[in-house]
Amino acid sequence: KGTRETTLLIQAAEKEDAESARQHFIDAMIAFKQTSLVISQNESQKSTQTIVSDHGPTIKKYESNIYKLKIISTKLNADVDFEQIDQLLVLAKANNAKGSLEQAKEVLDKIASEGKQIQKFLYEISEQNRIHKAKQFVQKHAERINSLILQAKTFGLDKTAVDLQQSQVQLLQANSTNQIKQQFKIIIIHQQKVEQVKEINQTQLLRLQSLLVPLEKKAQNLADDLKENKMADNLLKRAFNLIEETKQDIKDLEHTPTKINDPKYLDLTIGKKIQTIKDLLLKAEKLIYISS
């Protein structure tokens, strides 16, 4: 089981899965101690009088586990010093070969303890690497978050902008991947709010633009029917100019979206111009058809 859990620990470390790595770390440590515990239990059970004659299998398992720890250390660039545990392994082999089983058992216990410390250290390094990468991700998306804050302010979502700024600060100060994930979840929720308001505003802009389409079409039709009627020609020129001005006013609303949902403002600006265009076209139409 110790070998299996250590293998799973390697895989979890490579995938940067902190939760799985933590669990496999615990399971592997338990497995590391099982052999020595079994030895102790067998010695204490006098009724069975079981005597361990060889620690070879245990030594092989420990040797395999140490090899896997070295692989993890290399992948994490942890620069772990394995000299002491390697020397203990050599000593355990020598004692076992001489038949000094008690001494071999004591050395194996030390190896298990040393291995536990190395695993703990490697896990901490892995977690630090995860946090570092997560913070790099935060820095990479800092400009995007700033843009989102600006959009929230532009759309009049002041509270959303404040919440986003607070989340940004929390992200920069976060010292765990869970904290970073939590703040990004909050940011995504606020982003959805901004996108929703943006979509509503875009719909309103399209509605305003659609009001000009029939007016522009009518003005063009009247211009086609215009012959040599100077008064009607002047009225149509004013109408065309006003249509272009109104188009620009609607386009400018993209930069001041809070005004889009202000009926009073729209009535006094775009609404007033649209009504003037209608009046000009009506007058021009009368002049054209009267003269014809």
DSSP assignment of 23-81 equals: HHHHHHHHHHHHHHHHHHHHHH-TTTT------HHHHHHHHHHHHHHHHHHHHHT----
Residue 285 has a pLDDT of: 92
Q: How far apart are CA 107 and CA 89, in angstroms?
A: 8
Residue range 138-163: average pLDDT? Answer: 89
Q: How far apart are CA 163 and CA 159, in angstroms?
A: 6
Q: How far apart are CA 44 and CA 52, in angstroms?
A: 12
pLDDT of 125 strictly over 90? no
Label residue 288 by pLDDT band (50, 70, 90). confident
Name the one residue in this structure whose structure tokens are 């935060």: 138
Residue 211 has a pLDDT of: 94
Residue 43 has a pLDDT of: 47
Asked whether the beta carbons of 166 and 267 are under 8 A apart, the reply is no
pLDDT of 177 strictly over 90? no
Q: Give domain limits for the chain.
A: 2-138, 141-196, 198-291
Label residue 108 by pLDDT band (50, 70, 90). very high
Tokens representing 70 are 């070295």
Residue 45 has a pLDDT of: 47
Mean pLDDT value across the chain: 83
pLDDT of 36 strictly over 60? no
Residue 13 has a pLDDT of: 57
Residue 38 has a pLDDT of: 46
* Closest-CA residue to 280 (of 234, 246, 245, 244): 234
- Please tell me the least confidently modeled range out of 93-97, 222-226, 237-241: 222-226
Residue range 275-288: average pLDDT? Answer: 94
